[in-house]
Amino acid sequence: MQADKHNFDLSGQTMLITGAAGGIGSATARLCGAAGARLILADVAPVARIREVNARLADVAEFHQLDTSQRMLVEALADRIGPIDILADTAGICPRDDWMAPDWDEAFDQVIDVNVRGPINLVRAFLPGMSERKYGRIVLCGSIAGWAGGVRSSPHYAAAKGGVHALVRWFAQRAIQHNVCVNGVAPGPVDSGMTLGQGYTPEDFPLKRMGTSDELASLIGFLCSPSASYISGTVIDANGGLYMR
């Protein structure tokens, strides 16, 4: 059957992207904005920084500073911006530290707050409205660490991303009967600020390079599009063959 040339069209859909000042988040904004989505961009960074990173985008409806780990702030934003059709959560942190250090538990709590509690807060705030309107797309960002323990990540990050993978399936089971598809992506190491100076050795990878933010954005954009309308509860790997399940 011939592909519909509009099967990646997001025109008329309102999309919230969190982590929008980061590499994957800003690349997702560029791609989905070009596909016609009405963009609402949020990040823990100040609004001025979100605007600066996304300065080339002419059609952003709103910018918001948001700490997704804070339930009250997420719910306040949901009340403020109203209904959305698509949620792409790319917010996350990946500190490199010594899990045997006396103060490591504080780092563990922070990673879980941002990387696990954040997606829960976002889906809890926006899924009910999507379910009521019988349409929605949600994409969460996992990691190769959630499957294989990571490449150079610490145990709190591996635990958190494994949790995200489980949440994708948990949310999907409760959303699909309302025509809301919940999926995730599991990147390998991506050439971004998060990995800069962390000792990765791309020459040892199967493709001899790290992934790019644009490559991950393309996958997120696909999962948000009509082309993925029969996909739910799936975490798609994008790791250049570094780990195969």
Rounded CA separation 140/172 (Å): 11
Rounded CA separation 245/58 (Å): 40
Other Cβ atoms less than 10 A from the Cβ of 3: the count is: 8
Q: How many helices (H) and strands (E) does the chain have?
A: 8, 7
121-to-31, 103, 116 alpha-carbon distances in Å:
25, 26, 9
Other Cβ atoms less than 10 A from the Cβ of 173: the count is: 12
Considering the candidates 157, 200, 230, 243, report the single residue annotated as catalytic: 157
Q: Measure CA of the first residue to CA of the last residue in the chain; give whole Å.
A: 30
Q: Is 243 a catalytic residue?
A: no
- For residue 129, the 8-state DSSP code is H
Q: Which residues are catalytic?
A: 157
